[in-house]
Structure 1
Amino acid sequence: MSTSSSKEEKEHVEDDLEQAPTHATYIEKDSASSISPEHREYLIQRHGTIDLDPLPGFGNADPYNWPSWKKITNLVLVAWHACMSTFIAAAIIPAYGEIAEDFGTSVQNVSYLTSLQIATLGVAPLFWRPLADRFGRRPIFLLSLVVSLVGNVGCAESHSYSAMAGCRALVAFFISPAAAIGSGVVVESFFKKERARYMGIWTLMVTLGVPLSPFIFGFVSYRLDYRWIYWILAMINGVQLILYLFLGPETRYLRRGVSHEGSNFKQQYLTFRRIDTKPLNFLDFVRPIAMVMRPPVAIAAAAYAMIFLFGNVMISVELPQLFLEKFHFNPQQLGLQFIGSIVGSVIGEQIGGSMSDLWMKRRARRGPDPQPEYRLWVSYGGYLLTICGVVVFLVRTEQAPELHWNVTPIIGAAIAAAGNQIVTTVLITYAVDCYRDEAASVGVFITLVRQLWGFIGPFWFPSMFANVGVANSSGVATVMIIVVSIVPTILLQWKGTSWR
């Protein structure tokens, strides 16, 4: 693009946005009446219509104006990056026994290496979100991968429990950005009508990281030294870094009060200076916590966190311990038990993502655009599936005779995973739709609640199993899901519109 063309685009963007009622980077579709004729003609040539929500700016650097292949390629990279946060945390699950023997400690203590990363993944995004808002998503993602690579090498070379714990905490801190601000990337790249489908890709990858990792590394731990897990993770980070350098453009695009200088290529790939010059202060790092004062986000986060705890964390963390004790499985056999959770998550996403978008579109055809609360109807199926899956998993695990494995607990894990994924996509998409101009903050807050609640779980699960019984613990899980997830969602559908 020529310099004069770039200047013309910049002027049109600035003129248009001065007239548009905007907030942050989001331009409502109602602003279409105030855009210039040139801007209108550009959008019609690019999209075939100006009936777009949100309304894109005037220029090819705006992510809304990218071709579909470019948006999807970038989303895949970000979703893979998000997957690596949970993938790395769960990677050592099949090797708990080997690590415990190596360091002369208990399997329960080794499981805290996973819990440590779960907690770090929840807190760290508070630090990264304001930096990603100021400097853009791309520089933060690149830094994240570089330090994660180094940290995984450190884990591979650690020869004490404390050294490995420190390196894993470092990795979790730096690998965390995409798992939280990925919601912002989706909102910055895709229109509202397709948001749940692509939000679902991101949420599915975050979820899949937990069962997929032990499934793969069960083979590695059994056939090689468990330290190869860390070397392979470092190699994956290296591949991600290379791909992101060439295929991961910047999605943070301000549409008001700024001038976009340089070519489109430079803006998307070569800009490492501040994008948003607003002063950075302490409140920026804790602002996502203020979402607790917004009932739609706070209730959705709590309801989702409870489902994630039982449908994902409990099964993933406790399965190796329960099956190791009852069936004496080796790491490879333990890893294979996660197939159910993988299959269930993929199936659940088809309902939580594409089908919930179709649910909203069908309602929109009968009248005005539905309120975000209408999407919550889809979540009830996810709640019931999670309860059913957890009951089957725990009851059938206790009923299985010693050293006589059967597949029914894994079927329960698959059902719970499907329910967890439905709830994940529906509730996160709902929360983002309520406050779409603050999508990154919403993602950070939900991640914080989810990860901290998931971190606490492994500390009290063993006591619950010992005092209540494995099968009877399903009753505890059912009651907690009803009280914290189902009832508040009913309340949210009733009062959510007025609260917003």
Structure 2
Amino acid sequence: MTSDTTPEKATEAGTEDVENLQNTATYLERNAASGLSQEHQQYLLQRHGTLELDPIPGMGGADPYNWPSWKKVSNLVLVAIHAMMSTFTAASIIPAYQIIAQDLGVSLQRVTYLTSLQIAILGVAPLLWKPFSNTYGRRPLFLLSLIFSLVGNIGCAKSPSYATMALCRAIVAFFICPAAAIGSAIVTETFFKKDRARYIGIWTLMVTIGVPIAPFIFGFVANDVGYRWIYWILAMINGAQFILYFFFGPETRYIRSAGHHTGSEFKQEYFNFKRIDPRPLRFGDFTHPLILFTKLCVVIPAIAYAMTFLFGSVLITVELPQLFGQKFGFNSQQLGLQFLGLIIGSVIGEQIGGSLSDFWMNRRAKTTGTKPAPEYRLWLSYSGFVLTIIGVVVFLVQTAHAKEKHWNITPVVGIAIAGAGNQLVTTVLITYAVDCHQEESASVGVIITLIRQIWGFIGPFWFPPMFTNVGVAASGGVVAALIIGVSIFPTILVQWQGHKWRGEERDIAALDHDQATDQSKG
């Protein structure tokens, strides 16, 4: 009896069998290494249909990894909107600068400091909030954040003087900032690694578009009903957020240790306002994120992203009212409409930086049979850098060359291109940093926010002198040079050496852990 199998088919079948055996061996090795009990395995299979999960969840519905998809997404939407409100609130008064200056009797430049003040506080305050969120949970912190932000916005609406308004703006910035900084931790605590870029992208997109959406909306408000209604509307939004989050925002901070969790799952998720992490708060907890300045796979992408964000978002948003106001004589409502380009561009950029980024990594894993290194994701960032440069140059050159009082759409096209590039860079670089140090996801968000906000705070002070001394059109060259020097070249270096740096950092972290364990035993 002869076989129908040709040598070629036999070879293909043999190769396939070897690959299946390798995959099975890898699966069994991972399963054995995880030390899962039979009961735990059955629970995960029933809940997720597979044991190929990264990371491995615990047992119980209170573990955010075990939540149904609708619950994860709805919670992320609430957190992302909360994160958006930080930049949204800071940018809300941009189209009303001239009106506020006249009402409070101060210069236009002093009014811009009301935005710069919030930008600075949004960068520093998360250093304080992150340890409290780790100890008492994300949910109580977010609820307090919204209550005090509401009160602060009411204070802004009733402020009789510039000093009072500045104080109330500072209070709002201090309390509204947590979600914009620790959103990366929420995503890491809720979603598996294979989907992380997509959902980090939702969070980062909301932070990004909070900047242009606010002046787009509030340009109409300031022009039609008065700028103080901006603050009343912000307070109303905070109140609505509080109600929605109280009923639909469960706790994502979950410590997977035996005997740690008591009470029903519903109570753990919605009514646990006690300490979650039993460790006492120490001063080092508040400075802990600063150690990430020693981790090159975090700090270099953070700086590269911050420089791109500075030009692709901050420069356009802060300087557009003055450039277009002088050039075209726009009122606050007309100025607000110009931000539509940045909104559209950011949404388009997110489609590449989020879903396509995950597809890029997952496809690589299927093609090679092994999980790609985090550096493989960075290939997508270069197109974002180039788009940002092109967009900002088009915006500046076309604005400079436009005829007085004759608006044309080309500067707005440049704004949209810059917005797409900036958002692509944002999602790719933040996801890369989180992938490199998943155990520090909250600190990664804090340090990235700190660096971004410092750049964003400093920029508006030197943008006007640059336009005056170099020229608006020629400033595009300065932008291109800085993005190439501070963003592109360092990212190439990370892609080349990142795998070595990550290995060294893990070795140091393991050594520190062993030393700490020995000291505790001693």
- Considering the TM-score relative to the shorter chain, is it more than 0.5? yes
TM-score class, shorter: over 0.9
Other-structure match for 1:458: 460
Distance in 2 (alpha carbons) for counterparts of 1:189 and 1:262: 21
Moved over 4 A (4+): 28-33
Residues 258-273 of structure 1 mapped to structure 2, 5 A cutoff: 259-273=260-274
Other-structure match for 1:393: 395
| Alignment partner of 2:474 out of 457, 472, 475 | 472
Matched, 1:415 2:417: yes
Residues 324-403 of structure 1 mapped to structure 2, 5 A cutoff: 324-367=325-368, 368-403=370-405
Deviations 1:215-269 (A, max 9, x none): 0001100101100000000000000000000000000000136510000000000
| Alignment partner of 2:434 out of 409, 432, 435 | 432
Local SS of the residue matching 1:404: coil
Counterpart contact for 1:214–1:338, Cα < 8 Å: yes
Counterpart contact for 1:29–1:55, Cα < 8 Å: no
Distance in 1 (alpha carbons) for counterparts of 2:145 and 2:132: 12
Paired letter, 1:464: M
Deviations 1:368-389 (A, max 9, x none): 1000000000000000000000
Other-structure match for 1:208: 209
Distance in 1 (alpha carbons) for counterparts of 2:352 and 2:328: 34
Distance in 2 (alpha carbons) for counterparts of 1:232 and 1:298: 37
Greater Cα radius of gyration, structure 1 or 2 = 2
Matched, 1:495 2:497: yes
Instruction: For residue 191 of structure 1, report the CA deviation from its aligned partner.
Output: 0.2
Distance in 2 (alpha carbons) for counterparts of 1:258 and 1:459: 54
Counterpart contact for 1:217–1:335, Cα < 8 Å: yes
Local SS of the residue matching 2:247: helix
Counterpart contact for 1:29–1:53, Cα < 8 Å: no
Paired letter, 1:94: P
Other-structure match for 1:289: 290
Other-structure match for 1:449: 451
Query: Please, which runs of 5 or more residues in structure 1 have no aligned partner?
Result: 1-27
Counterpart contact for 1:29–1:54, Cα < 8 Å: no
Other-structure match for 1:17: none
**Distance change >3 Å, CA 29–CA 125, structure 1 → 2:** farther
Distance in 1 (alpha carbons) for counterparts of 2:225 and 2:497: 55
Paired letter, 1:206: V
Other-structure match for 2:162: 161
TM-score, with structure 2 as normaliser: 0.90
Local SS of the residue matching 2:123: helix
Other-structure match for 1:4: none
Paired letter, 1:221: A
Distance in 2 (alpha carbons) for counterparts of 1:258 and 1:167: 44
**Seq. identity, %:** 68
Distance in 2 (alpha carbons) for counterparts of 1:33 and 1:370: 21
Instruction: For residue 166 of structure 1, report the CA deviation from its aligned partner.
Output: 0.7
Other-structure match for 1:120: 121
Instruction: For residue 105 of structure 1, report the CA deviation from its aligned partner.
Output: 1.8
Query: Please, which runs of 5 or more residues in structure 2 have no aligned partner?
Result: 1-28, 503-522
Other-structure match for 2:53: 52
Paired letter, 2:501: W
Instruction: For residue 279 of structure 1, report the CA deviation from its aligned partner.
Output: 1.5
Residues 8-157 of structure 1 mapped to structure 2, 5 A cutoff: 33-157=34-158
TM-score, with structure 1 as normaliser: 0.94
Paired letter, 1:229: I
**Distance change >3 Å, CA 31–CA 429, structure 1 → 2:** farther
Distance in 2 (alpha carbons) for counterparts of 1:338 and 1:366: 41
Paired letter, 1:480: L
Other-structure match for 1:22: none
Other-structure match for 2:311: 310
Matched, 1:246 2:247: yes
Other-structure match for 2:14: none
Other-structure match for 1:236: 237
Instruction: For residue 366 of structure 1, report the CA deviation from its aligned partner.
Output: 2.0
Other-structure match for 1:175: 176
Distance in 1 (alpha carbons) for counterparts of 2:194 and 2:121: 34
